[in-house]
Structure 1
Amino acid sequence: MNLKSLLLVGGALLSGTAASAGGFQVTLAGQKNNGMGGVGVGLSLDQAAMFYNPGALAMVRERGVQIGGNVTLARQSFRGQFGSDERTLRNSIVTPFNLYAGFGPAEGKWRLGIAVYTPFGSKLQYASGWEGRYSLTDIDLKSVFVQPTVSYAITDQLSIGGGPVILAYGAVNLQKDISIGNYPDGHVELDGKAEHKVGFNAGVFFKPSDKLSLGVSYRSHIDAHVKDGTVTITNTPTALASSFAATKFDVTLPLPATTSIGVGVMPNDKLTLGFDVNFVQWSRYKTLDFTFDQNLGTSNKSTSKRYYQDALTFRLGGQYKLTDGLTVRAGGSYDNSPVKDGYVTPETPDADRVSGTLGATYSFGKFGVDLSAQYVSIKKRTQTQNELLNNGTSLDRVAGTYKTNIVIPGIGFNYNF
């Protein structure tokens, strides 16, 4: 009995089917940005600049507080290569959120801020009895990041900023069935919390004229580590108890660094356009290695191949101020998947994706309400048994076709002072 056939946690530490970025990266960090295809690196829209480009925060005129949330409604299906039935995942809802507060003198050159957001997290629940149940049946992932930020305007045109990015909370619960020869299937559940980790986010913002702005930002990688996670195994025969003795696991997942460049164009006082390119360094994610406190199967270690490749995301969006109180937005993005053919896993059934977005803000005095909506189409992705055999991944993947569509409504509230 091969260990890889017993446990496939994939990118399960903090991953899952992402809402709007390849692999397991999610960018739903700002409600205004969400309505504009996710652009923001070359713009200074509001306090969410702390996430997109900390250098732009000093150029945000208003000090303020804002909070927002989204609901991801996904329809995901799978059809096995050697089966005729399409398996539709059970309905699940994920609610990423964001909170920003920016402070500083009204006419000063600096801004301080605090950001709280959820860039990783998902929930998948496959249909009972599906072909990949020995790889995955359920996964529930949560994460919260905190980012203190400082930004300074060196001149009226140039500003810089940055701050530590703290993995304040991360949790995973993963479940799968176990095939035990002539015995009924067993079941395994992994549950753990990630250790606190620290990276950084930094950026530069340049606005040479009232009609043009440029930005560059860099978000460092973080190695998220679950130590002493709990292994719970049920419905296994007493005669094979020694093969299912593990009670704890350790695993590290590399969360990739991202370099972004952005351009903002303001043809007039009412219209703002933005274009971003994100370069995500997925290539450092080569294998996922687990260590157990006792044997699970024939060993206390497991290695699962990933061999991700670096990927680009292209984003385009704009907003138009219809009245003093109402601003409307639209945008879209194209996201290259970092997952190569033959390496698609059930917990991250990733493929190239296209998204379209709409949004609006209605302001009354110092208060405002932000609305956004996204539609994400993840392209149909097929991998064959021959590909799995050639890559040596046939023991922890499933041959077949995945298809996912996601609808993401969002709402936010802001107060400027």
Structure 2
Amino acid sequence: MKFKSLLLVGGALLTGTAASAGGYQVTLAGQKNNGMGGVGVGLSLDQAAMFYNPGALAMVKDRGVQLGVNGTLARNSFVAEGSNTQRELRNSVVTPFNFYAGFGPAEGKFRAGIAVYTPFGSKLQYAEGWEGRTSLTDIDLKSIYVQPTFSYAVTDQLSLGVGLTVLAYGAVNLQRDIALPDSYGHIELDGKAKNRIGFNAGLFFKPNPKLSVGISYRSKIDATVEDGDVKFSNIPASFATRFEATKFSATLPLPATTSVGIGIMPTEKLTIGFDVNFVEWSKYRALQFDFDRQINGSTVSTSKRDYQDALTFRLGGQYQVTSGLTVRAGAAYDESPVKDGFVTPETPDANRVSLTGGASYSFGKFGVDLSTQFVKIQKRTQTQADLINNATTDRIAGTYKTNIVIPGIGLNYNF
């Protein structure tokens, strides 16, 4: 018996089923942006510019603090090849959040701030006894990034910015069943990620009141778990010597992203944004687990990923209805980095289409932001022949379908 299927859960390390982007990337960093299809690179809406384009922060008129939270309500189903039985995930809700605080002199050329957000994280719980139980049963993943940011307006039209992206906290719990001759055992991996540092830099240019452009680059970070715990249960004593590992380590690349955005302001009340994101997923070629002791005669396991680079296209707009009320709408199309024959239970990914809406109401220095997103991940089928041709038989053949609804709310205060 080979245990390569253990590696399937590793693709979800600090990730899981992404709510609003391909692969395991999540972009729910700003409540206003969420309502506009996720655009923001070519705009200077508010303090969330720290995430989308640090260069735009210096052009944000107000200093302020904002806090937002989203609920990701996913419905995933799976039908195994040759079966008519549809398996659905047990219900779970994940609540990624964001916090921003921006400071600087009212008439000055610079802004500084701090951002805290959760770009990776999910919770998946497959149905009891589903066909892929030896690949994955449960994932519970958490991550928190902290980003101190500085932005400077070189001229009235041009500004630059940079932030340190710190993986301040990451935790992962992954579980699957183990097929034994006359029963099933269970394995659980539980670990904390090491702190890692990258950067997020951007340039923002607004040649006139009706046009703005931006470009940003978020660097790659390797998320590494060392000395994670390995626990076995329901293993008969006669098989205990085959499952001796107590610790594991693994590294997952969190890929670099280059983004370009355009903002158009036809009138003082209407703003339109268009973004293109290029994610360097091709750096993710394989995932390796190292164990301190053997699992069925081996201390190292490797699983192919062979991701490909992918683009995301985003379009959105907002309209100021009254002095206090602003409404928003948008859409996005996201290419999947996962090739045919490489789909895994923890990331049943495919090309996806998102529709978004939102509104804000301000009263004095306070404001409330609401957003909602509907994400349809296209049906994805892989056959046993696909798995054999790609030497990826450590995963399961069948069809995945996923729809996600993401409501969100934010509170902000400007000073």
- TM-score strictly above 0.5: yes
| 1:349-364 paired onto structure 2 within 5 Å | 349-364=348-363
CA deviation after TM superposition for structure 1 residue 298, in Å: 2.1
| 1:120-269 paired onto structure 2 within 5 Å | 120-182=120-182, 184-269=183-268
Deviations 1:281-326 (CA, angstroms, capped at 9, x unpaired)? 0000000000000001120000010000000000000000000000
Are 2:80 and 2:131, in contact at CA under 8 Å, matched by a contact in 1? yes
TM-score, normalised to structure 1, is 0.99
1:72 and 2:68 equivalent? no
Question: Which residue is 2:46 aligned to?
Answer: 46
Identity across matched positions, percent = 74
Question: Which residue is 2:99 aligned to?
Answer: 99
Question: Which residue is 1:277 aligned to?
Answer: 276
Question: Which residue is 1:338 aligned to?
Answer: 337
Distance in 2 of aligned mates of 1:240 and 1:381: 37
User: Aligned to 2:400, which of 402, 410, 414?
Assistant: 402
Are 2:374 and 2:404, in contact at CA under 8 Å, matched by a contact in 1? yes
Distance in 2 of aligned mates of 1:242 and 1:4: 18
Distance in 2 of aligned mates of 1:137 and 1:82: 21
Are 2:7 and 2:288, in contact at CA under 8 Å, matched by a contact in 1? no
Distance in 2 of aligned mates of 1:32 and 1:250: 38
Distance in 1 of aligned mates of 2:10 and 2:384: 18
Amino acid at match of 1:235: N
The secondary structure found in structure 2 opposite 1:57 is helix
Q: Give the aligned CA root-mean-square deviation in angstroms.
A: 0.7
Question: Which residue is 2:411 aligned to?
Answer: 413
Amino acid at match of 1:313: T
Deviations 1:213-268 (CA, angstroms, capped at 9, x unpaired)? 00000000000000000000011121121110000000000000000000000001
Question: Which residue is 1:304 aligned to?
Answer: 303
Question: Which residue is 2:346 aligned to?
Answer: 347
CA deviation after TM superposition for structure 1 residue 15, in Å: 1.3
Are 1:104 and 1:110, in contact at CA under 8 Å, matched by a contact in 2? yes
Distance in 1 of aligned mates of 2:14 and 2:134: 20
CA deviation after TM superposition for structure 1 residue 112, in Å: 0.4
Are 1:10 and 1:348, in contact at CA under 8 Å, matched by a contact in 2? no
Distance in 1 of aligned mates of 2:207 and 2:193: 43
Are 1:313 and 1:335, in contact at CA under 8 Å, matched by a contact in 2? yes
1:113 and 2:113 equivalent? yes
CA deviation after TM superposition for structure 1 residue 7, in Å: 4.7
Question: Which residue is 2:21 aligned to?
Answer: 21
Distance in 2 of aligned mates of 1:325 and 1:103: 23
Deviations 1:148-199 (CA, angstroms, capped at 9, x unpaired)? 00000000000000011000000000110000123x1000000000000000
More divergent stretch after superposition (79-88 vs 209-218): 79-88
The secondary structure found in structure 2 opposite 1:389 is helix
Deviations 1:82-126 (CA, angstroms, capped at 9, x unpaired)? 211000111010000000000000000000000000000001000
Distance in 2 of aligned mates of 1:163 and 1:273: 26
CA deviation after TM superposition for structure 1 residue 11, in Å: 1.1
In structure 2, list runs of 5 or more residues that go unmatched: none
Are 2:7 and 2:289, in contact at CA under 8 Å, matched by a contact in 1? no
Question: Which residue is 1:391 aligned to?
Answer: 390
Are 1:71 and 1:93, in contact at CA under 8 Å, matched by a contact in 2? yes
CA deviation after TM superposition for structure 1 residue 133, in Å: 0.2
Distance in 2 of aligned mates of 1:82 and 1:127: 18
Distance in 2 of aligned mates of 1:12 and 1:310: 18
Distance in 1 of aligned mates of 2:294 and 2:226: 17
Amino acid at match of 2:149: T
More divergent stretch after superposition (125-134 vs 8-17): 8-17
The secondary structure found in structure 2 opposite 1:8 is helix
Distance in 2 of aligned mates of 1:29 and 1:401: 31
Are 2:5 and 2:395, in contact at CA under 8 Å, matched by a contact in 1? no
Distance in 2 of aligned mates of 1:173 and 1:107: 48
Question: Which residue is 2:60 aligned to?
Answer: 60
CA deviation after TM superposition for structure 1 residue 19, in Å: 0.4
More divergent stretch after superposition (47-56 vs 235-244): 235-244
Distance in 2 of aligned mates of 1:9 and 1:97: 24
Amino acid at match of 2:113: G
Are 1:10 and 1:304, in contact at CA under 8 Å, matched by a contact in 2? no
Are 1:72 and 1:406, in contact at CA under 8 Å, matched by a contact in 2? yes
Distance in 2 of aligned mates of 1:10 and 1:359: 35
The secondary structure found in structure 2 opposite 1:106 is coil
| 1:28-39 paired onto structure 2 within 5 Å | 28-39=28-39
Q: 1:6 to 1:24 in 2, by over 3 A?
A: closer
Are 2:192 and 2:226, in contact at CA under 8 Å, matched by a contact in 1? yes
Are 2:117 and 2:144, in contact at CA under 8 Å, matched by a contact in 1? yes
Runs of 4+, deviation exceeding 3 Å: none
